[in-house]
Amino acid sequence: MGIKRLVWSGQVCIKKQNQFAFLYLNERGYTFLNMLLTFFIYSFIISTLTIVFHFLISHSQHPEDLRPFEWELFIIQLHREFKESSHITIQDKELTFTNNAGQHVSINHYKNLIRRQIADRGHEILLLKVKTMTFHQVDRGIQLSVISEAGKVYTYTFRTYKELVKA
């Protein structure tokens, strides 16, 4: 049969392939079974990828190390405290100052955390998983050095133009 004769007569000749992709194909398109199979394969791949990504992200960081977001939040909080404070006193492992309300505030290392106390009372946790913490006075500021339980060193310098009192 030539193509011209098929076109003139209006007959349609479909050659069915015996490949896997065309196994469930009928004359009207994909069948419901083919759609379910495709949806199952897609769901399996997506769910497997989310589990793998979660595993990779959670194990990419040492469990005893500080989380970057916690460190940033800690720095922002201390920066706000220093801006609103006066009479800043630096000791090796403790920093004391007077806040806007006239309260004596101290930031110190206690066990494996850094805490904030007002008038030597209370126990507000600022940062966890800390091995050591030291404050040093530098030109026009205070340098904070923190070593996490994993041994990683974190440093930040707070710039201030207020009077620093060295104890």
Mean pLDDT of the chain: 82
With a pLDDT cut of 90, the percent of the chain lying above it is 43
Contacts of 161 (CB under 8 A, 6+ apart): 140
Between residues 91 and 103, the one the model is more confident about: 103
Three-state secondary structure call for residue 80: helix
| Alpha-carbon span 134 to 143, nearest angstrom | 8
**Residue written as token pair 């500021």:** 141
| Single pTM value for the model | 0.62
Residue 57 pLDDT > 90, yes or no? no
